[in-house]
Amino acid sequence: MKNCEYQQIDPRALSVSPMSAQNRAEMKAQRSRRKWEVFPGKNRFFCDGRIIVARQSGVLPLTLGLIVVTCGLFFAFDCPFLVEHLTVFIPVIGGVLFLFAVISLLRTSFTDPGILPRATPEEAADIEKQIDTSGSSTYRPPPRTKEILINQQVVKLKYCFTCKMFRPPRTSHCSLCDNCVERFDHHCPWVGNCVGKRNYRFFYSFIISLSFLTSFIFGCVVTHITLRSQEGKSLIQAIQESPLVICFFSIWSILGLSGFHTYLVASNLTTNEDIKGSWSSKRCTEESGNPYSYNNIITNCCVTLCGPMPPSLIDRRGFVPLVEASPAASATEIELPPFLAKNDSNMCTRSTKDVLARMVHAFDSRGLCPPGTPKTTPVGVEVSSSPSAGCPLFSRSSRKRDSLHSSNPAFRLASPSPSLSRNTMILGEGPDVGFIPIP
């Protein structure tokens, strides 16, 4: 049984935690760390936070390799022939397109797609406070959706249990990267990153330039083979040496993808919205449609591709403020299940790893925490018990969730946020908020 219930926000974690003198000294002695080192999502960082990629680089090396090999073959075997028979601009154009495609690809892969930082504990508690207005004594997890009006159209905002906030419109949570991404399009394994608000234009220029590149190479290769066969030289050898086969197969998929994304850009849609059919006519009434569209193809294109470039919100290279170290410490405390809250007086004197190990053991031995149980210390905790279970609380890519949702979050059609795959429990008799306990 993996990580199960909704994590109640421990109010004790919000205030300055009672810290022993020893801990304070330890905090001061720590070197200041950059924010990317404590980033909660599953991304990886390079060059001291300048470069961000998803945890699995996917097939990015393969993509790069294919492009480089195809162009290499082209330059090596087709260009010499075509330069003498046609014009010297052929390798020049090819080179420019190749550079453009590779640079766009790298920009797409290494740019923050528009990751939203997770809610701070105070913010999350404030949201819960706003929701829990009835003042009942039983605890209810926040409802999943909140309705707002955008351009006189009703849009539902979903609550993200991982990031503990209501997602802004057009934002979606990527389960592979474990982040909420603004204007989430899809998670592209070829590029090894999510495609969202900040890198969609790079992605689009990548696929367009790649389409031009492959079409250009394909055209040149066909010309080459035609000319060679006319001159009576060996046709089979020419075909073997040219990147014809790779080009032929990739060209259709890339052209198709470019066409699809051109349609999306022109109608100001994301892949996620298109696949879910959020604004399709069969789901909407007569007066609705895409509330974000400007109803003009040119305007939509310009807004999506040439609009202002928002900055990254996660501030990877900033330093973690030591003064506010208690939120950082309390962030780990926040993840603890409520039945360990009683031990917080002892907690701060233990190392975080010890605390995590205790949690893991507690989960393993008890499963869910029913309400109202006496909150006793889990007895006989061994640190060594942690390795097998790993850290279920922190490893958010539980297999259970992946089996319920395909690895591409764009295909999460009917299912809401990924956290519903956790076994959520309604403590007490709150009104039915529609949670489905999934064993």
Partner 1 sequence: AFHNLQELRHSASLVTKVFVQRDYSEGTVCRFQTKFPSELDNRIERTLLEETVKTLNSYYVEAEKIGGQSYLEGCLACATAYIVFLCMETRYEKVLKKISGYIKEQNEKIYAPRGLLLTDPTDRGMRVTITNDLAQRTSSKSQGQPTTGHILVDTTLFVKAS
CA distances from residue 210 to 99, 224, 258 in whole angstroms, order as listed: 10, 21, 9
Q: Which stretch binds partner 1 (CB under 8 A): 164-172, 211-219, 255-263, 430-438?
A: 164-172
Q: Which stretch binds partner 1 (CB under 8 A): 79-87, 125-133, 216-224, 417-425?
A: 125-133
Single out the residue of 47, 291, 18 nearest to residue 147, CA to CA: 291
Query: Which residue, 175 or 179, is less far from partner 1 as judged by CB?
Result: 179
| Per-residue contact flags (x/-) with partner 1 for residues 217 to 256, judged by CB under 8 A | ----------------------------------------
Q: Is there binding between residue 262 and partner 1 (CB under 8 A)?
A: no
Q: Is there binding between residue 201 and partner 1 (CB under 8 A)?
A: yes
Q: Is there binding between residue 309 and partner 1 (CB under 8 A)?
A: yes
Q: In this structure, what DSSP letter does residue 314 have?
A: S
Q: Are 97 and 213 in contact (CB under 8 A)?
A: yes
Angle between helices 60-73 and 244-266 (to 10 degrees): 120
Query: Which residue, 78 or 274, is less far from partner 1 as judged by CB?
Result: 274
Tokens of 241: 């040496």
Q: Is there binding between residue 135 and partner 1 (CB under 8 A)?
A: yes
Collapse the DSSP code of 426 into the 3-class scheme (helix H, G, I; strand E, B; otherwise coil) and give the result.
Answer: coil
Q: Is there binding between residue 104 and partner 1 (CB under 8 A)?
A: yes
Question: How many angstroms separate the first and last alpha carbons of the chain?
Answer: 8
Single out the residue of 108, 111, 130, 109 nearest to residue 119, CA to CA: 130
Tokens of 238: 């020419």
Q: Is there binding between residue 51 and partner 1 (CB under 8 A)?
A: no
Q: Is there binding between residue 408 and partner 1 (CB under 8 A)?
A: no
Distance (Å, whole) CA 334 – CA 8:
8
Cβ 148 to partner 1, closest distance in Å? 5
Collapse the DSSP code of 355 into the 3-class scheme (helix H, G, I; strand E, B; otherwise coil) and give the result.
Answer: helix
Chain contacts with partner 1 (rule: CB under 8 A): 8-12, 14-19, 99-100, 103-104, 107, 116-117, 119-120, 122-123, 125-126, 128-129, 132, 135-137, 139, 148-151, 155, 157, 165, 168-170, 182-183, 201-202, 205, 291-292, 299, 302-303, 305-311, 313, 315, 338, 341-342, 345, 371-372, 374-375, 427
